[in-house]
Chains A and B, each alone.
Chain A
Amino acid sequence: MNNRRRILLKSGLAVSALGTAALLVPRAVLAAWPEKAFHAKKMPEALQALAGTDSASESGDIKIKAPDIAENGAVVPITVSTGMDDVESISIVAVNNPFPLIASFNLGEGALGFVSTRIKMGKSGDVVAVVKAGGKLYSAKKGVKVTIGGCGG
């Protein structure tokens, strides 16, 4: 009887070990994805989680190209460009979205301060471009009016 108990315990341990291993694998693969920043519901929280600070000074050297009025919030073209030196990353934030941080682009070797993409916007609000250059955050914003929301249906 005692013997059986040992076996049960052992097999139980083996199963749980397997379980945790299976859970850990996909996490390790995507370790670089800043989950906390993307799950933040407010912009300062998102910046804090992404860059370790939420203070971004406004800069006139960041240009956002976006429509004044977006007819379809599901597809809002956004282009961010900056003439700054040592740009490390460019992040795009839609202030009024349920999860404001939309995308973060880490520029690699030789990359210029330019990204263009299309985003979803739940309702009208500011689109903020946050540029990390020389270890500091700079931002610029542009208001976009959305006629039909793109988050939800």
Chain B
Amino acid sequence: MAKKAIKIRAKLKGDVVTVKALMTHPMETGARKDKKTGKLIPAHFIQEVVCESGGKTRMTAYWSGGVSKNPYLSFKFKGGQKGDDLTLSWVDNKGKKASETVKIG
């Protein structure tokens, strides 16, 4: 893939880690029509996003096609350390996967 599927940043402030992630994905609902052919564009969206850090699952998100194209996600958690690995991965409804690891800064 030319473009990175996930851009992610994790920052520790006080004792709270803030995670911000941008994913590259069309997020088709399956209800939209192709303007040229008039045919429905098949659904293609991220179904599951999992974020792990320090050997623990910090967040599991289940999504539908109602999340915007190239989704943005941000959340916070306690108990992270500077320099810890943080992995975010997703699976879409076609079974495609991507994941990215960063260090908490």
Contacts and interface: CB of A to CB of B under 8 A. Distances in A.
5 contacts: A75-B69, A103-B66, A109-B77, A117-B68, A152-B31
B33 A106 contact: no
Nearest to A100: B66
* Interface bracket on A: 35 or more
Nearest to A34: B62
Given A30-B91, A110-B79, A115-B74, A103 B61 contact: yes
A120 B76 contact: no
- 4 smallest CB-CB distances across A and B, nearest first, come from A102-B66, A110-B79, A116-B74, A118-B68
A8 interface: no
A152 B32 CA distance: 4
A116 B75 contact: yes
Contacts of B79: 109-110
Interface string A100-144: 011111111111101111111000000000000000000000000
Contacts of A74: 68-69
A81 to B, nearest CB: 9
A141 to B, nearest CB: 16
Contacts of B66: 94, 97, 99, 101-103, 119-120, 151
B35 to A, nearest CB: 7
A118 B58 contact: no
A108 B56 contact: yes
